[in-house]
Structure 1
Amino acid sequence: MSDNGLNGVPVTGDFANGGLSFWYRQIGVPAQRPALPGSRDYDVAIVGGGYTGMWTAYYLKKAQPGLRIAILEREFAGFGASGRNGGWLSAEFAGSRERHAAARGRQAMIDLQHAMFTAVDEVIEVARAEGIDADIRKGGLIHVATNPAQDRRMRSNLAALRTWGFAEQDMRLLTAAELAGRIRIAGALSATYSPHCARIQPAKLALGLARVVSDLGVDLFEGTTVTEILPRTPGRAGRAAAVTDRGTVTAEYVIRATEGFTASIKGQHRQWLPMNSSMIVTEPLPDEVWERIGWQEYELLGDEAHAYCYAQRTADGRIAIGGRGVPYRYGSRTDVRGATQPQTVAALRKILTTLFPAAAEARIQHSWCGVLGVPRDWCSTVHLDHTTGLGWAGGYVGSGVTTTNLAGRTLRDLVLRRDTELTALPWVGRQVRQWEPEPLRWIGVQVIYSLFRAADRRETRMEGTSAYARLANLIAGR
């Protein structure tokens, strides 16, 4: 394991250190399944072996066991964000509620939020029923404010959420004293608490889903790179197609479920921006440290900063904490198999020790990063075109662990041509313009996150939200 001198902080995340993320280091990188053996025909072909692809295959097979379904994955199932995320099985949903409501009305957006509440418990129940042990613990979600500007913004956001279907039992305000009774965070002024969140070990969920869908009869081909996705044409007997380095898969429907790796497919380079997010994890903390911190209910934890962080207490007594680090690489490039920059590790360690001084002496035992998909309007979407035979889901902007499950069930209903409550939700069929070409895309993201960080620095000395943050949101189109 390499070391950059920051209290033994490792900065590499490759397979030689046990996996792309701590989650894989903990359980081991799976043996790769066979690649596509040549051109084949299916009823449904799914490009991408992450949560979205596997949930879609799972629910389709459960609904119609006779469907011929293939999943095409470049690496192994769970290689991407599904095996690298912060383990938040949360009801948070990406994007502007107003934008989603504009599509089908305000009540439709409220219905979408309630569907997210339900989806948290759906994942928990499927894991139980299918024998997937993913260290699931439903302790809820805490967002903490550590300065007056954050406190004011959090209270304002909570008041707005009340108009979008969040009752008192769905989210409530915690005083500093109430928060300290749950988890002791240095400088905390207040917090919100929602019960609609559970901690998971994300790689365990990914590998469990891969096992389950394979057992159901889904052909899961790994080590198979999809280079292009094509709509139906008469020349292929009216079949859509996924072109791979191992042959061409034709199907009635081809579903793109590639999230942050979408730019690698021909013609999709500007569709979704691959946003980078990084994590570190401590060594197991001793009992005396946990006595000082609390955190006995294993709530998930986030803050109200603009360059926000996310954290969990792991099942084996560590703190795993993440943030944006280097948010975007020129030309929509992705990370090198999870490798993380030393400056990002140092920044995350500073956040860790600022929030939890009791953990200041803890060694950082692993670091890693991954990519998530960001549409130009920052709103998640699910879509199926029966004319072309092409569909997709994604653009989760970091809130995908639960949303992928809702997407999988929605794609099931769309493929089977069912008119249901899920297909009526306002994120269905949403399409937005592409991202700007380079170098505008790279410059824009650098400006946005520079402004967010500057806003966070200024807000330590002011009462309200910094104008820098408002400008960043305007540029971002959020």
Structure 2
Amino acid sequence: MHNDALCNFWTSTLGERPPARPRLTAHLQADVAIVGAGFTGLWTAYYLKRLSPALNIVVLEAERVGHGASGRNGGWVVGNLAGLERHIGGLSLDERRLCCGVVADNVDELGGVLAREGIDADFHKGGAIYAAARYRDQVAIQRGYLQHLHDLGHRETDCCWLDAGQLAEKARFRDGYGGIYHRQVATVNPARLVTGLAECAERLGVTIHEHSRAEILERRKVSTGEGSVEAPTIVCATEGYADGFHDFKRHVLPVQSLVVATEPLSESVWQEIGMAERPAFSDASRLINYGHRTADGRIVFGARGSYRLGARSKADQAIGEAAMRMRRDLLVDLLPALEGVRITHGWGGSLGLSRNFRPHAILDRRHGLATAGGYAGEGVAASHLFGRTLADMILERDTELARMPWAFADASHRQLIKRWEIEPLRWLAAQAITFSYAGEEALMRRGKPLPLIKPALQRMNDYFASVIE
């Protein structure tokens, strides 16, 4: 499978796509130029237009709308931010609770926009299960994570513990020891969301140029091979596809995430699995897996892939048979009722990882450059929150979002986002971490105490997580 529309299940649900939007072939003036027609860029354009309809906004996309992570992710809309503790860890409990409330309520805000704008993206709020479902050791990991969420400031009504019986009422995993239920999580069809959002932005008057790859970002100007846009503010919304920009690629690296979709499951199989409420689900593996029941009765399931030497983004979406088989085997390990299930689609691409695993919305007024990202795989919801935040900052609105600790006005990404190490050091580190995580998983699978080795490996992996993430 080499055609993205055949590989990517989400894209296959769109039907026949309209012709590409015109390339940028002129030299334009605008109020805001946005590089990247994914969620971050389009949400920023949408909110800028909603708040200030007279603005002239131009969006440049290297391929088609949603070509990057926005059109092919796992479809989770998470009421949390990976790395949030790095922003709010030093605040008072009341302040932390305020920030966590903003992040959690963002899920409902996003769903409300889709309803108001008539964007049919299969938005479904079924919550998420973070299960201890393969190894007994995962119980302690998930209980520790639940305590972390509460200490961070998340409402206990939003994040609670499920014992084995309560877990089985929501989903029946192979060994369902228990787990966390996070109420503020929804799922979407991301391809429908990003295409619907682009059409909505155009109705509001935003101009989108496809097949218009930005080659040069400079002060208040962005240039393609055939044209340019000058604007007081340039928004770089490329996330894991910033490798074309020499400066940004030092700060945000592309990490691959790969996803598969099953055939539609029979009602009898669903009776065995449960998931009547269509929750998202994951287990406690450090290698990170994520899945959910789609609107048409499939399971979409993914797991973090790898880092490519030289920080190369994945240009196409096709993945190999071995990658699909690995994810199928992991899914069946979680849900044995799926033994023999057919995988119909397998796809993947890049997501952005900042050096300190710190999501950010940054506006450098001096140089006329704004950016947002560092979502670490949780960008469907975060991009909506940060698009709103960038819009408020660009328009100089004194709002709650503009005062959040992840919002940085009058600052530069060079000051705020630490640079990654040079190659091959970061590639070697990525390999070491991957092997170490796999080793910890293998020990948990054995189910033996190993009192010296297991705690030491866990402490080392906790250190990796804190430094890299």
Q: Shorter chain as normaliser: what TM range?
A: over 0.9
Q: 1:35 to 1:271 in 2, by over 3 A?
A: same
Q: 2:285 corresponds to which residue?
A: 305
1: CA distance between counterparts of 2:194 and 2:11? 10
2: CA distance between counterparts of 1:131 and 1:199? 17
Q: 1:269 to 1:164 in 2, by over 3 A?
A: closer
Q: CA deviation at 1:13?
A: 5.0
**Which of the numbers 58, 73, 82 marks the counterpart of 1:85?**
73
**Which of the numbers 443, 457, 468 marks the counterpart of 1:468?**
457
Q: 1:130 corresponds to which residue?
A: 117
Q: 1:355 corresponds to which residue?
A: 334
Q: 1:210 corresponds to which residue?
A: 198
Structure 1 residues 397-412: aligned runs within 5 Å: 397-412=376-391
Q: Do residues 242 (structure 1) and 222 (structure 2) align?
A: yes
Q: 1:364 corresponds to which residue?
A: 343
Opposite residue 357 of structure 2, the aligned amino acid is W
Opposite residue 288 of structure 1, the aligned amino acid is S
**Which of the numbers 97, 103, 108 marks the counterpart of 1:110?**
97
Q: 1:149 corresponds to which residue?
A: 137
Contact 1:37-1:246 at 8 Å conserved across structures = yes
Opposite residue 305 of structure 1, the aligned amino acid is S
Q: 1:53 corresponds to which residue?
A: 41
Q: 1:384 corresponds to which residue?
A: 363
Contact 1:142-1:193 at 8 Å conserved across structures = yes
Contact 2:171-2:275 at 8 Å conserved across structures = yes
**SS of 1:331 mapped into structure 2:** coil
1:155-202: CA deviations, max 9, x gaps?
122122222222321111001111111111001211110110111111
Q: CA deviation at 1:108?
A: 4.3
**SS of 2:10 mapped into structure 1:** helix
Return 5+ residue gaps in structure 1 as ranges. 1-11, 232-239
Q: Do residues 458 (structure 1) and 443 (structure 2) align?
A: yes
Opposite residue 107 of structure 2, the aligned amino acid is V
2: CA distance between counterparts of 1:440 and 1:23? 36
1: CA distance between counterparts of 2:370 and 2:109? 23
Q: Do residues 267 (structure 1) and 255 (structure 2) align?
A: no
2: CA distance between counterparts of 1:105 and 1:162? 13
Q: CA deviation at 1:148?
A: 2.4
Q: Do residues 447 (structure 1) and 432 (structure 2) align?
A: yes
2: CA distance between counterparts of 1:340 and 1:169? 40
2: CA distance between counterparts of 1:379 and 1:193? 24
Structure 1 residues 7-22: aligned runs within 5 Å: 12-15=1-4, 18-19=5-6, 21-22=8-9
**Which of the numbers 377, 390, 398 marks the counterpart of 1:419?**
398
Q: CA deviation at 1:470?
A: 3.4
**SS of 2:34 mapped into structure 1:** strand
Q: 1:167 to 1:338 in 2, by over 3 A?
A: same
Q: 2:417 corresponds to which residue?
A: 432
Q: CA deviation at 1:57?
A: 0.3
2: CA distance between counterparts of 1:156 and 1:104? 21
Opposite residue 100 of structure 2, the aligned amino acid is Q
Q: 1:106 to 1:252 in 2, by over 3 A?
A: farther
Contact 2:33-2:58 at 8 Å conserved across structures = yes
Contact 1:451-1:469 at 8 Å conserved across structures = no
Opposite residue 284 of structure 2, the aligned amino acid is E
TM score, norm. by length of structure 2? 0.93
**Which of the numbers 4, 17, 27 marks the counterpart of 1:39?**
27
1:268-314: CA deviations, max 9, x gaps?
22211101000111101111111111110000111111112100101
2: CA distance between counterparts of 1:417 and 1:96? 24
2: CA distance between counterparts of 1:332 and 1:20? 23
Opposite residue 95 of structure 1, the aligned amino acid is G
Opposite residue 159 of structure 2, the aligned amino acid is M
Contact 2:60-2:210 at 8 Å conserved across structures = yes
2: CA distance between counterparts of 1:197 and 1:45? 32
**SS of 2:232 mapped into structure 1:** strand
Higher mean C-alpha deviation, range 101-110 or range 408-417? 101-110
Q: 1:390 to 1:106 in 2, by over 3 A?
A: farther
Q: 1:160 corresponds to which residue?
A: 148
Opposite residue 277 of structure 1, the aligned amino acid is S
Q: 2:126 corresponds to which residue?
A: 139
Q: Do residues 276 (structure 1) and 256 (structure 2) align?
A: yes
Q: 1:13 to 1:177 in 2, by over 3 A?
A: farther
2: CA distance between counterparts of 1:432 and 1:252? 23
Q: CA deviation at 1:243?
A: 1.7
**SS of 1:396 mapped into structure 2:** coil
Aligned residue-pair number: 455
Higher mean C-alpha deviation, range 46-55 or range 339-348? 339-348
1: CA distance between counterparts of 2:362 and 2:233? 12
Contact 2:215-2:225 at 8 Å conserved across structures = yes
2: CA distance between counterparts of 1:402 and 1:253? 24
Opposite residue 308 of structure 1, the aligned amino acid is I
Q: 1:191 to 1:373 in 2, by over 3 A?
A: same
Contact 2:307-2:427 at 8 Å conserved across structures = yes
**SS of 2:13 mapped into structure 1:** helix
1:402-442: CA deviations, max 9, x gaps?
00111011011100111211111111227121111111121
Q: 1:320 corresponds to which residue?
A: 300
Q: CA deviation at 1:44?
A: 0.3
Opposite residue 21 of structure 2, the aligned amino acid is R
Q: CA deviation at 1:466?
A: 4.7
2: CA distance between counterparts of 1:155 and 1:397? 22
Q: 1:205 to 1:418 in 2, by over 3 A?
A: same
1: CA distance between counterparts of 2:14 and 2:448? 45
1: CA distance between counterparts of 2:112 and 2:49? 17
Q: CA deviation at 1:341?
A: 2.7
